[in-house]
Amino acid sequence: MLAEAYYDNGRIEFTKNYRFKHNRFKISVKLPDEEISDSSIGTNEPLSESPQKSDETYMQKMMKRLDEIRTMSLDDSKLPELTKKQLDRIKAFELRAQLRSEQGRPI
């Protein structure tokens, strides 16, 4: 279905009152070229959808990026040393977890 709407400072307002089955769903919007400022073209967003770049959906790009982050190796040399207070807190959490497991409660 093709519906007409107006863009108003971040909101899309339809010209007719429609009753939707769901509160949230995906829509496609055709933007007039003359309404787009030059500064917004070519933004460096790795997850932005661009039909000429690839056929990957936004979700596929997001999942691919998350997998990259999950499998990224950590360089311990770049991490700062833990302070005494941080070490004490870690020990306290470990002790709490041990006590809870001994009592049969969830950790």
Reported as a single tens digit per residue, the pLDDT across 47-87 is 554 544 556 788 888 999 999 888 888 777 777 888 999 99
- Please determine, for residue 92, whether its predicted confidence score (pLDDT) is greater than 70: yes
Supply the pLDDT for residue 102: 93
- Residue spans of the domains in the chain: they are 5-36+46-71+80-102
Contacts 24+ apart (CB under 8 A), 22-28: none
Please say whether the beta carbons of 58 and 47 come within 8 A.
yes
Residues near 97 by beta carbon (within 8 Å), at least 6 away in sequence: 107
Token pair of 67 as six digits: 């997998």
> How many C-beta neighbours within 10 Å does residue 56 have?
14
Supply the pLDDT for residue 97: 95
- Please determine, for residue 4, whether its predicted confidence score (pLDDT) is greater than 70: yes
Q: Give SS3 for 27.
A: coil
CA distance 4 to 13: 9
Reported as a single tens digit per residue, the pLDDT across 15-42 is 999 888 988 888 888 888 888 877 655 5
Please say whether the beta carbons of 28 and 19 come within 8 A.
no
Supply the pLDDT for residue 36: 81
